[in-house]
Chain A
Amino acid sequence: DVKVTQSSRYLVKRTGEKVFLECVQDMDHENMFWYRQDPGLGLRLIYFSYDVKMKEKGDIPEGYSVSREKKERFSLILESASTNQTSMYLCATRTGEETQYFGPGTRLLVL
């Protein structure tokens, strides 16, 4: 079974802090994704990566950056957290197959 883990289930940070959200997968998948989910909206793609050190902007990359130094780990970075980044963050992975495999999510509150 594919396992996708995220470093925290819940996180509380202050405005202006630098925040790191970590995602680790154990199945050697090439593609990794970061989404955010807000009430009443579908999951929105922030960034994705199709290989180590490769990244592409998704639909809402502003205020975020990513890092993929190793194949199994994809980090989402909030350079200076703001209250409008309070959200549920989901990481996902994919091989050459179509299906995406999700982590359990990190609920981030920025005060």
Chain B
Amino acid sequence: ILNVEQSPQSLHVQEGDSTNFTCSFPSSNFYALHWYRWETAKSPEALFVMTLNGDEKKKGRISATLNTKEGYSYLYIKGSQPEDSATYLCAFRISGGYNKLIFGAGTRLAVHP
């Protein structure tokens, strides 16, 4: 059974803090790793899709890295703001998996003013 683990499950930080969370996935048959942000009462929104080992992607204050050989990805938020409060989901796509994504349970981030 393929499993995607995210840690921590939840996180409370103060405005201005930098933070990071982890997504662990199977290191074999890798095709792609997705990160989504899901704010309460909204649709999950794509942040990054990464396919190459060593990939680093950045969008404003948010960045992500990928290590396919050891099966992990980090998401970093620099200078957290209250509007960053959301659940961050990662999803793993296996090679030949017909675009089926396997999701982790998410990291719930709360940024306090």
Contacts and interface: CB of A to CB of B under 8 A. Distances in A.
A40 B106 CA distance: 8
Interface string B43-60: 111100101000000000
A104 B38 CA distance: 10
Contacts of A56: 98
B43 A104 contact: yes
B103 A43 contact: yes
A99 B99 contact: no
A31 B99 contact: yes
Given A40-B105, A102-B44, A105-B43, A45 B49 contact: no
Contacts of A98: 32, 34, 49, 51, 93, 99
A100 interface: yes
A44 B89 CA distance: 12
Interface in B55-113: 89, 91, 93, 98-106
A77 to B, nearest CB: 21
Nearest to B92: A42
Contacts of A50: 98
Interface residues of A, number: 24
Nearest to A6: B43
Most buried by A among B99, B102, B104: B99
30 contacts: A31-B99, A35-B103, A40-B105, A42-B89, A42-B91, A42-B102, A42-B103, A42-B105, A42-B106, A43-B89, A45-B101, A48-B98, A48-B99, A48-B100, A90-B43, A94-B99, A98-B32, A98-B34, A98-B49, A98-B51, A99-B46, A99-B49, A100-B46, A100-B101, A101-B43, A101-B46, A102-B44, A102-B45, A104-B42, A105-B43
